[in-house]
Chain A
Amino acid sequence: MEYEAVIGLEVHVQVKTHSKMFCGCKNEFGAPPNTHTCPVCLGMPGVLPTPNLEAVKKTVLTGLMLGCEINRICKFDRKSYFYPDMPKNYQISQYDQPLCLDGGVVLGKYAFPKDAQKDPIASAKKNVRLIRIHLEEDVAKSFHFETTSGIDFNRAGTPLMEIVTQADIASPEEAFAFLSTLQQTLSQARISDADMEKGQLRCDCNISVRPKGQLEFGTKCEIKNMNSISGVRRAVAYEITRQIQTISNGGKISQETRRWDDAAGQTYLMRTKEQAHDYRYFPDPDLMPMRTDLGLVESMKQQMPETPSMREERYMRDYALNDYDASVLSSDIDLSHYFEGVLNAAQGDRQKVAKAIANFIINDLLGLLGGADQTLADCKIMPEHFGGLVSCVDAGKISSKQAKEVFVEMFATGKEPSTIIQEKGMVQISDEGALESFAKQAIEANPKSVDDYRAGKMAALNALKGQAIKLSKGKANPQLIGEVLEKLLNA
C-alpha cells in the first residue's frame, strides 16, 4: 500500500529585542550564567510583568509579513506546569486570543534542498497555511552535570514567538523549504537571527501517515530536538519511514512525543499521551488585554520591510532576472543590499547591467568569498567600484573576459577598476588615428579579404576586424575598429 505523510510544525523563534519580554533585563545570548536576571525574571515573590512593546511590534510585523490577520484585541494567558527552568511554574503565553491568525508561507523552488529542486513540487509554489502566531516568554536553560544540575536564568523571560502551521506539509523537503523561507524572512526583517544551531529557532514536528487517498488523519507523533534545518529534514524522513514500517508490519502508532538523535539518526520515545499535561490556561490577571487597532497595526504596516519573496518578484519584474538569479540575490538581505548598491552605481541599460552584476555576484563573488572563507561584510569590493567595472564593460571599454580578470584583482586588493585596468594596460584603443593605422596594416596584409568584401561578402569584414585587433594586441575597441575599416574600404 502507498502511504502519504501529514506534517504540521510548531516553530519557536527568539525575538531579537533589547530587553526581556516582561522585565528590563538584557536579552543577550552568551553572557556568563545568571548575569541577566532580576526579581521579575527570577519569579521572586511580589513581582509583576510589564509587556515589552518592541516584542509585540515585531510579532505583529511577522504576522503582517506572513499575511496573517492581526487580532484586534489580544491577551496573555498563564500556562501552568512545574519545571525547574520555569521561575514562576507558569509561563506567560497566549491561548485563545493570540496576536496573529491565519496567513501562510509560500515555498519557492530554491528554498528546497538543492537535490530536490528538480522535483515538480519545488516549482508548484505551495502555500503552507499558518494557524496562528503568538508571543510568550522563554524558559531558563538547564545544564546537567555528573551529580547536580544547574540553571542559567539569562534566557528566562526572553521573548519567544510561536508559529503554528496547518498540517499542510507533505514531505521532509517541504518542511526544509518552509523553515528556510521562514528563517530568511525573519532574519532579513531583523526580527530574529533565527539560527537553529543557536536555538534561536526551534521546531517541533507533528507527523502522521495515512494510506494515500484516505481523508482521516493517522495517529500523530511529535518530534523534538532538531538543531538544524537539514536535521529536521532527516528526522522527518526517519519518522515517516518508521511509521510506515510499523503500520506495514501490522503495528499501531501510539500518540507520543519522540526525541530526535541526530548522531544516531533515530527518534526515541520521550513520553506518551497519558503523561500529557493539563496546562490550566487562564487569562493572566497581571496583564491587561491589548488593543492592536489603535494605531499599532497601521504603524507596523508602514514599517513593513520587503520580504525575500517580494524582492525576488521585484527583481524578476524590474530587471528581468531569471528565477534562479532573483532567488539567490534575495536570499540574504546583505547580498540584496549589495546587489542594489552596485546596480545604483553602474551606468547603462538597467536590465543588461543587472544581469551582468548578477552573473558577477553568483558566478564569481560567492565563489571567491567561499574560497577565502569570508562573508560579504569582509568583501573589499566597494559597490561603486563594482558598478564602475560593469559600466566599463557596458561601454565597451574592456571586454568581459578582461573584466573577470579585473574583478579577481579587485577582490584581492580592493583597488578601483580603473587603476587595475591601467596597471594591466587593458585600456581599449579608441583613438581614431591609432585605429586607422591598425586598419591600414590589416587591409594591406589581406588583399583577398578586401576583394571578398568588395565583392559583397560581409563576413570578410569580420576577418579583417580580427586581424586589426590582433595587430593591436587585443586593445582595439572592437566596435570602433569595424567602423574605421568600413570607412577605409568604402573610400
Chain B
Amino acid sequence: MELFFETLTGLREKLATKKVSPTEVLDALKKRVEAVEPSIRAFNHIDWETARAEAAALTPEDLAKPLGGVPVAIKDVMAVKGQPLTCSSRILKGFVSPYDACVIEKLRAAGAIPLGRANMDEFAMGSSTENSADGPTHNPWDTGRIPGGSSGGSAACVSADEAIVALGSDTGGSIRQPAALCGCVGLKPTYGRVSRYGLVAFASSLDQIGPLSKTVEDSARILQVIAGHDARDNTSAAEPVPDYLSGLNQGVKGLKLGVPKEYFIHGIDPEVEKIIRDAIQHLSDLGAEIVDISLPHTNYALASYYIVAPAEASANLARFDGVRYGARVKDGKDVIDTYCRTREKGFGSEVKRRIILGTYVLSSGYYDAYYLRAQKVRTLIRRDFSEAFGKCDAILTPTTPTPAFKIGEKTEDPMQMYLADVFTIAVNMAGICGLSLPCGFAAQGKHGRLPVGLQIIGKAFDEATLLRVGQAYEQSTEWRKERPACA
C-alpha cells in the first residue's frame, strides 16, 4: 500500500519502528499531491522545503513522540511562523505569520510537521469553500461538487489522501459538515477545550479548532495533543485532559443515545434520512439504548447564530485595514478612503455581507432587539441540551440535510447555503462537542456515491464518549475503507 493511504495510527507505527522515515512520508505525500491536486485544489500553499528541513531535523526522541514525523495539514486560518496566513482572502495576500498558534506549538512539541495551508471559505465564512480568493476546492467523491466548508480544504485533502490528517476550525459546523460531505471524521471539541491563540477569529465565542482524519482513533490522537488550558486564551478551560485512547474500545453497551425529533425535519434528503436511521439501528444492535429526546429550540439556532456570529465577526475583521500588514490600495485620497477601498477590494462578498449584518445588529438602538436577544436564545439552546443530557449520554443526528451539492448550485442564494449548517450550528451555540463520521453513501453524484455523515453530540468536555461511540460504529462497519473516485 502507498504510504499516503496510511492512517495516522498506522503511519505512527511505521515511523516508530523505523520502517519509514519522515522524509519518505513527505515524498509519498508530494507524489500524491502532484497527482490529484490539479483536480481537488485543497491547498493554497505547500512549503515542501521547510517541511523537509523540519523532517530531517527530527531526532530519534522526536520520532518517539505521539505525533513524531507525522505531517499535519493546517487550515489557512491558523498561524504558522514563517508561513503564509491568508484565510483565503485577498486582504491577507502576502502576509506571513510572525508567530505559531498554540495548536502549532503543541503539534511541534509532539513531533508533528505542519504541512500546507488548506483552502477554506474566506475567513471561515461559508459552507462550500467557494468563498475563497484562491478558488473553490473540489469534492474528491465528485469533483463537480463542493467539499463543504469552511474547512473544505482540510476535509478534501484528508479524503483524497493528500494528507494523513488535518486541522480545521468549526464556528457553526465548519469541521463536521465538510467531514461529512467528504467522507472523513471531523471533531469539534467543546468550546474552551483547545486554545484559540493563533486562530484568526471569525466568531470568538463559537470558534474551536479540531481534527479532520481518516479514522476516529486518529482524531483522538490529535485531540490528545492539542487539548488543554492555555494562559494566552482567556476562554480556554482549565479542565483536565483525559486519556482519549484508553476508553476508545469500550463499546456502546450501557450507553443511552438520544435521537432528537427536531433533526428529522422536512427538507432532509430521504436517502440521507434512511442512512442515518440505519446507523442509529446499527448502534442499537451494538447494544446502545436509543431514546427519543426533544431539543425544542433547535429551530431558532440558525437565526440566532446569524446574529451572534456576524456581530463578533464585524469587530474581529475590523483589524484588516491595510495599515500594519496585508494588502493595501496604494492611491487612497486619505486614511478613510484608504480603509474603504482596501476593504472593498480585499474582502469577498460573503465576508462583506456578514460584516454589514454584524455592524447593523450591534448599532445603537438595535443591540437589545438583536444581539442581546440572540444571546438569550443561546441560553435556551444550551438549556435544551443540558435537559437532554439528563436522559442520554450522547445525541445522534445527521450532520447535514443533504449530501454534497454542485459547485455554484447555492452561491446565488445565501439562505440555502446557510441551511447546509442547520444540524451543526446548535452545538456551537451551546458550546458543546460534536463528531461527524462516515455512515454510508447516497446514490447520487457523478459516480453515484456521495458520503453521508452521522453526527454524535456530546456533553461539554465529554469528547471521550463521542470518540467511544464513533469508534464502536466505525470499527463494526466498513465505511472507513472506502476511497473516493479520485483515488
Interface set of A (CB-CB < 8 Å, partner B): 39, 42-51, 78, 80, 82, 84, 87-90, 151, 278, 280-282, 284-288
Contact = CB atoms under 8 A, between A and B. Distances in A.
A280 B323 CA distance: 22
B152 to A, nearest CB: 20
Nearest to A83: B335
B85 interface: yes
A78 B316 CA distance: 10
7 contacts: A44-B325, A45-B97, A45-B319, A45-B320, A49-B234, A90-B315, A288-B235
A43 B79 CA distance: 13
Given A89-B318, A89-B319, A288-B235, A46 B85 contact: yes
Nearest to B317: A89
A280 B204 contact: no
Interface string B193-218: 00011111101110000000000000
Contacts of B233: 48
Most buried by A among B85, B232, B234, B321: B234
A82 B315 CA distance: 10
B201 A46 contact: yes
Question: Which 7 pairs of residues, A with B, have the shortest CB-CB distance?
Answer: A89-B318, A285-B204, A285-B205, A280-B362, A45-B200, A43-B319, A46-B198
Contacts of A284: 204
A358 B449 CA distance: 95
Given A39-B98, A89-B321, A285-B205, A46 B315 contact: no
Given A88-B319, A285-B312, A45 B95 contact: yes
Contacts of B320: 45
B288 to A, nearest CB: 36
Nearest to A279: B364
A284 B336 CA distance: 25
Contact of A46 (B101, B359, B362): B101
Given A45-B319, A47-B197, A82-B321, A278 B232 contact: no
B99 interface: yes
Contacts of B196: 48
Nearest to A45: B200
B25 interface: no
Given A46-B78, A46-B197, A84 B367 contact: no
Interface string B369-382: 00100000000000
A86 to B, nearest CB: 9
B33 interface: no
Nearest to B101: A46
A282 B367 contact: yes
A280 B364 contact: yes
A443 to B, nearest CB: 89
Interface in B35-85: 77-79, 85
A281 B361 CA distance: 11
Interface string B230-244: 011111000000000
Contacts of B371: 282
Q: Name which of A47, A284, A288 has the most chain B CB atoms within 10 A of its CB.
A: A47
Contacts of A44: 79, 97-99, 324-325
Contacts of B339: 82
Nearest to B318: A89
B367 A39 contact: no
Contacts of B323: 84, 151
B74 to A, nearest CB: 12
Contacts of B205: 285
B235 A286 contact: yes
Given A43-B324, A48-B232, A84-B335, 13 more contacts: A43-B319, A44-B79, A44-B325, A45-B92, A45-B200, A46-B198, A46-B200, A82-B318, A84-B323, A280-B364, A280-B367, A282-B312, A285-B203
